[in-house]
Amino acid sequence: MDASDRSRAPGPPHRLRLLLTVCLLVGAYHLVPVREPAAETATLLRGGGTAVLLAVAAWLVVREVVREAGHVGAARRLDRLLVALVGGILVFALADFAVASGQDGQFVGLETRTDALYFALSTLTTVGYGDIHAAGQLARVLVSVQLVFNVLVLAAAARILWQGLGERRDRERPHASGPP
């Protein structure tokens, strides 16, 4: 590779960009300010903002999954799905944390952002240890939406992975010129 080839080379390797993107998402999750509301209006505004953020995140994930399902190689699709999944988990963790810190009694055991992330991941994996759980009606609605989102994303991920494995198997299979 000569100097002109190096100057046209793309930025960081693909996997490094993926890792950097995920790290930036997690960093943003920890930096978003969530404070105790001063009044009922603040609670309503934060709840509305959280609902809008969840809707936008869900739309972006669904759009990305649909768009990438048929147009990009399997590895690239899985990378983008991973970023979308991490983003979705972080949005739900942030929503859980906002609800828990904004209204007493909505979640039992959820007091920190780490608790919220842990809860979102245990909900995603359907493990549900029971140490943190939704107790209030708002929290239960939020967790119900999260469960539906998780099922849709996991189903899409499984489908894309299955397609990717099929593409890989087809590429590796020798093409015979005649009957065996």
Q: Which pLDDT tens digit goes with each residue over 30-86?
A: 777 776 555 556 656 666 666 676 666 666 666 666 665 555 565 666 677 777 778
**Check: CATH 1.10.287.70 for 45-170?**
yes
Tell me the Ramachandran region of residue 175: left when phi exceeds 0, alpha when psi lies from -120 to 50, beta otherwise. beta
Residue 35, judged by CB atoms within 10 A of its CB (0-12, 13-18, 19+), counts as exposed
CA terminus-to-terminus distance, the chain: 43
* Predicted model pTM: 0.65
- Taking Cα atoms as reference points, which of 87, 146, 156 lies closest to residue 119? 146
